[in-house]
Amino acid sequence: MKRNYLVGYDISDPKRLQKVAKVMKEYGSRVQYSFFHCSLSTAQKKRMMDRIRTFIREDEDQVLILPVTETQLKEMEFIGLKSRLDMEGVLIF
């Protein structure tokens, strides 16, 4: 069973930032510059986390993986630019 996650990161080094962004593009849809929506099985989440750990420095960088329900996704609100969730074809009912 897949679960929804919002994944955000603050990576201090530009090279590490690019590597983490590349991994994240394989697992989810970009919502903002360093913020992704992912729908992952437990195994996929573990693989994603393992891959991210190979690139970050835990004493300098931070990655937040926040589980969200379908209801919470539906209730998301945006101020400003249109939601990238909508632009990338992720449907929110």
Q: CA 8, 11, 15: angle at the middle one, nearest 5?
A: 125
User: Which of 26, 31, 35, 39 minimizes the C-alpha distance to 7?
Assistant: 35
Q: Which residues are annotated as a binding site?
A: 10
Per-residue pLDDT of the chain (93 residues; tens, 9 = 90+): 999 999 999 999 999 999 999 999 999 999 889 999 999 999 999 999 999 999 999 999 999 999 999 999 888 888 887 666 554 444 444
Residue 73 contacts residue 6 (beta carbons within 8 Å): no
Is there a domain that residue 82 lies in?
no
Domain count, the chain: 1
CA distance 17 to 10: 8
pLDDT at residue 52, rounded to an integer: 98
Q: Has residue 19 been placed in a domain?
A: yes
The domain in which residue 31 lies consists of: 2-75
Q: Is residue 88, in this structure, part of any structural domain at all?
A: no
DSSP H or E stretch at residue 62: strand 62-68
Q: Residue 19 has what pLDDT?
A: 97
Q: Which residues are annotated as a binding site for Mg(2+)?
A: 10
Domain-embedded: residue 84? no
The answer, as to whether pTM is greater than 0.85, is no
Would 38 be classed as within a structural domain?
A: yes
